[in-house]
Amino acid sequence: MALHGVIPVFKPKGYTSHDIVGKIRRLTGQKKVGHTGTLDPEVEGVLPICLGQATRIAEYVQSFPKRYQGSMMLGISTDTQDQTGQIVEQIPVRNVSEKAIQQVFERFQGVIEQTPPMYSAVKVKGKRLYELARLGKEIDRPKRKVTIYELTYTQIHNDEEYLKIDFDVQCSKGTYIRTLCVDIGLALGYPAHMMSLVRINSGPFHIDDCFTLKELQTVAENGTWETVLYSIDEVLGQFPSLIVSDEDERRVLDGWFLELEPPMISSLVRIYTESGRFCALYRCDKEEAKPEKVFRDVDS
């Protein structure tokens, strides 16, 4: 029987997000599996995995804010902007006060611009940047706007030459934390790179909600996937709900427009029948709601 829902997986270091998708495919025995936002191989933490009809909501889950905890090194930069790269610059850190760090961290909150790193999967003119980087090439990359909702440093470790800064950040989709570390370093007057990173939250999922690959192996052996699977409508819980009569259920499943009374501002809404069945995701526009995703074969 096909599985429909989302599993919050704890991605360990040393695996790509695609590796995790492959493992879940093998464990569940079904092909329709996808992740909701790439984590670099050396980054660990929350990786929601969508199965079956839930792969159709990956775009929404991916767009939810994410929270990370990490460490950056001030005084050393690398070609990949993280701990996996080759050192390209080293400058002993002198006279950087806690107050200066606080002020710079505050400057990077809100909407900021980032230039994607060369070692990234972003495509420019049909080429992946990391493919060009591996050939020793560097090209101009268009800047992108991202949002830093919260950014705080949690601890400062001062050794003889360099400065390690632990931090906590909540940000929008598309934020490169590696690049954020580098840009913070530049604002403080030093080269920098990201030393470590853990994704603590992704949308509705916290790291404490996650299942390890070992735990999922046991689930597969016991055939108890219902114990780890979050339903589609549960994952979309931040969107308001709208109840239609059972007699209107067929119209919703056939993708008819709905008249709204009273009118609603533009937003996505979860559509339920009076009997409690989740059947669609609609987008409201004043007096009308239009179907965005219809789920015929998913029980709530």
Tokens of 154: 């949690």
CA distance 11 to 47: 6
Where are the alpha helices (H) located in 29-176, listed in sequence order? 58-63, 98-107, 129-134
| 8 Å CB contact between 117 and 179 | yes
In three-state secondary structure terms, 260 is: strand
Q: Is 146 in a helix, a strand, or coil?
A: strand
User: In 92-171, where does DSSP find H-type helix?
Assistant: 98-107, 129-134
SS3 114: strand
Catalytic residue among 19, 40, 140, 159: 40
Q: Which of 15, 57, 75 is nearest to 40 (CA)?
A: 15
Structure tokens at 39: 């984590």
Q: Is 168 a catalytic residue?
A: no
Nearest to 171 by CA among 69, 100, 48: 69
CB 234 within 8 A of CB 262: no
- Rounded distance between C-alpha atoms, residue 149 and residue 172, angstroms: 8
Q: Which residues are catalytic?
A: 40
